[in-house]
Structures are given as structure tokens and as C-alpha cells.
């Protein structure tokens, strides 16, 4: 391109704004006196004014003649360079932007939730994680679980459909603009670099639309997730069988109703509930905590219940001893009578009931 200044000089295109006019005036077609110049400019203006009156064929012919002109490539290069050095050099500084941190956050979140990226079983992993965070899933929760998965899958589907639409629209628009600019580059100075730059501008615009889509999708996932977690938080009464198992243990260990971790796990297993390491969400621990305090507050009220379970335990014990085997209740490291660790005994009449019976 170091040939350009020479070309500019030798072919009289120094007047960047009016190259045609400059050349016209320099190659001797203009008159040397003022009157001649006026006449010449008048002719050019006349030509410009009559362009609109030309037929399509005439216009095409003129365009073709212009494109075939021997000086056209040189002129085109010079004009492109001038253009590059002026207006577009300012825009050039905006290129090579670092990736948007917000967009990265959104992308990461969509990936983590299983909305973007490869299908991860319709978000079952996320649902399982959400459920685990609240203390586990029982069989009764499978309906909500699948509901969560179905809704997440819907969100995923909508997201991908919309994303595809945006990408298609972006490609169509880019192709259209590129074709337009290529076509126009035959009559005005548009370099391939400028077309490339225009394409990147279009992509930037479309990616900002995509970011909105990603943001909306993230919001939808968050709402779904919070609803699901709220649903987990809702109270579910234990079924009758589970309550009986827990009561049986409680009343048969009334002197020290503090099941060990192993015992809790075994009870949870029997009741069909899970035990979390975090006490806050440990259903068995909650149950025993509530039971202890409520029993202690109103022993009289629970007396009948205590007697009933004590009798049942006695019957079981008799039947077990008749079969010559050990007690079948969950492991009881802190069994009755052992009131260590300063825990208060809830011993009452019912504890003796087994003996009396």
C-alpha cells in the first residue's frame, strides 16, 4: 500500500472528498479561466441531476463502465485507506473487548442448572441437589421432583428455541448486510475490513439480545427453584407406620430417649425418610426433640400412648425370647437405665409397664 501516496499524487486524487472532480479538473478538461471552470462544474452538476432521469439500463451501463475503468482499483484502495484513517480508526479502538463478566456469570449459571450445554437428564441433578439441600427426598416427593424436572425441561426447550431463532436471524441479517456492502463496495469505498467490522457490530448487537434471553431464563430457573425449595420446606406429617416406629423406639427407651446416630439412621430407614448430617434438617432428630419436650411437658396426656407402646414392646419381647433370639429394635448404645451425658431421664410408669405386664 506504500504505492498509494504516489498514486494519489500522480492521478490527482488528493481531494479526498471530491476525487472525481479533482481528477476532472487536473487532467485538463477544465478551462483555465474562471468562466471555463464554472461551465465545467455546471456540466457535472447537470450530469448528477440527470442521473435520476436515467433508465435502469443506462444506470447499469454507467455503473459497469465505472467498474471497468482501469483506474478504479487504485482509486478504490486510496479511498478505502483514507476512510480507514479517519472515521473508522476511532471505532477500531473499541475492538478486542474482554468477555463480559455478567454474560460469563449467566452462561455459568445456565450450564450449572443444566439449561445450557448438554442435556443432564432434564435437570434431575439440579432437582436432586435442591432436594438434598433440604433434607432428602422420600417416595412421596417423586411427583414434585418430576414436576420440577418437567418445568426445567420446558425452560430449556424455550431457551434453545429462542436462541436458535436469534442465531438464525443474526446470520440472515449478517448475510444480508454483507451482500449489501459488497454490492455497494463496487460504487463506494468499502474495504473487506470494514465489512468485517460491520459484521462484528451486528454480532455484538445480537449478543446483547441473547444476553437478555439468558437473563430471563436465569430468572425463570431461579423462580422455579425457589418454588421447588419452598415446596420441600412445607410440612409433611409422617405416615402412621413411621410414627408408630418412632413411638415404639421412644417409649421402649423412655429412660434415655436419645437414639445414637446409628439408631437414627436405622429408624429413618425403617420409616422411609432420610437422615441428613445437618441436624436442622434431620427429621428423626426433630421428631425426637419434639417428642421429648412434649412428653415431658405433659406426661399425663401421653400416658395412655406410653402404656400402649409399652405393652406392645412387652409382647414383642416375649415373642422374641420365645424364639431364643436377641431384641430386634434399632441398635441402642444408650439403652434404658444409662442416663449418662447429663441427659435427663423421662422415666415414668410406662417404663415399668413392660415389667409389670
Partner DNA sequence: GGTAATGATTTGAA
Partner DNA sequence: TTCAAATCATTACC
Contact residues for DNA (CB under 7 A)? 134-135, 233-238, 243, 258, 279-281, 283, 285-287, 289-290, 292-294, 296-297, 301, 342-344
Among residues 86 and 286, whose Cβ is nearest to DNA? 286
Q: Cβ distance 287 to 271 under 8 Å?
A: no
Torsion angle, alpha carbons of 102, 106, 107, 108, to 10: 100
Q: Cβ distance 156 to 114 under 8 Å?
A: yes
What minimum distance in Å lies between the beta carbon of 150 and DNA? 21
What minimum distance in Å lies between the beta carbon of 227 and DNA? 13
Among residues 122 and 257, whose Cβ is nearest to DNA? 257
Among residues 107 and 261, whose Cβ is nearest to DNA? 261
- DSSP letter string over 197-241? HHHHHHHHHHHHHHHHHHHHHHHHHHHHHHHHHHHHHS--PPPHH
What minimum distance in Å lies between the beta carbon of 231 and DNA? 9
Among residues 194 and 266, whose Cβ is nearest to DNA? 266
- Long-range CB pairs of 81-87 (<8 Å, 24+ gap) are 81/1, 81/4, 82/16, 82/189, 83/189, 83/191, 83/194, 84/191, 84/193, 84/194
What minimum distance in Å lies between the beta carbon of 316 and DNA? 22
Among residues 159 and 258, whose Cβ is nearest to DNA? 258
What is the spatial distance between Cα 357 and Cα 315, in angstroms, rounded to a whole number?
9
What minimum distance in Å lies between the beta carbon of 281 and DNA? 5
Amino acid at each position: 500500500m506504500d504505492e498509494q501516496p504516489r498514486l494519489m499524487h500522480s492521478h490527482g486524487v488528493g481531494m479526498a472528498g471530491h476525487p472525481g472532480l479533482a481528477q476532472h479538473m487536473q487532467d485538463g478538461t477544465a478551462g483555465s479561466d474562471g468562466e471555463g471552470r464554472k461551465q465545467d462544474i455546471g456540466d457535472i452538476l447537470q450530469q448528477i441531476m440527470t442521473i435520476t432521469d436515467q433508465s435502469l439500463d443506462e444506470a447499469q451501463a454507467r455503473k459497469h463502465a465505472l467498474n471497468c475503468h482501469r483506474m478504479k482499483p487504485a482509486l478504490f484502495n486510496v479511498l478505502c485507506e483514507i476512510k480507514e484513517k479517519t472515521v473508522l480508526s476511532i471505532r477500531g479502538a473499541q475492538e478486542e473487548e474482554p468477555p463480559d463478566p455478567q454474560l460469563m456469570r449467566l452462561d455459568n449459571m445456565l450450564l450449572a442448572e443444566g439449561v445450557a450445554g448438554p442435556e443432564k437428564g432434564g435437570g434431575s441433578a439440579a432437582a436432586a441437589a435442591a432436594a438434598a439441600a433440604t433434607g432428602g427426598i422420600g417416595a412421596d416427593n417423586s411427583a414434585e421432583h418430576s414436576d420440577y424436572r418437567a418445568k426445567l425441561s420446558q425452560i430449556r426447550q424455550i431457551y434453545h428455541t429462542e436462541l436458535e431463532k436469534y442465531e438464525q436471524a443474526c446470520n440472515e441479517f449478517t448475510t444480508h448486510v454483507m451482500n449489501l456492502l459488497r454490492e455497494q463496495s463496487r460504487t463506494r469505498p468499502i474495504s473487506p475490513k470494514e465489512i468485517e467490522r460491520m459484521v462484528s457490530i451486528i454480532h455484538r448487537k445480537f449478543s446483547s439480545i441473547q444476553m437478555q434471553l439468558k437473563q430471563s431464563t436465569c430468572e425463570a430457573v431461579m423462580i422455579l427453584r425457589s418454588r421447588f425449595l419452598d415446596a420441600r420446606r412445607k410440612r409433611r406429617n409422617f405416615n402412621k407406620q413411621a410414627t408408630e416406629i418412632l413411638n415404639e423406639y421412644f417409649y421402649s427407651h423412655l429412660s434415655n430417649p436419645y437414639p445414637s446416630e446409628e439408631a437414627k439412621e436405622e429408624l429413618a430407614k425403617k420409616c422411609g425418610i432420610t437422615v441428613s448430617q445437618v441436624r436442622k434438617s434431620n427429621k428423626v432428630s426433630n421428631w425426637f426433640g419434639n417428642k421429648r419436650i412434649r412428653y415431658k411437658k405433659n406426661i399425663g396426656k401421653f400416658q395412655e400412648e406410653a402404656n400402649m407402646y409399652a405393652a406392645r414392646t412387652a409382647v414383642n419381647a416375649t415373642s422374641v425370647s420365645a424364639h431364643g433370639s436377641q431384641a430386634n429394635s434399632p441398635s441402642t448404645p444408650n439403652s434404658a437405665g444409662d442416663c449418662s451425658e447429663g441427659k435427663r431421664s423421662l422415666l415414668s410408669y410406662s417404663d415399668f409397664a413392660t415389667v409389670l405386664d
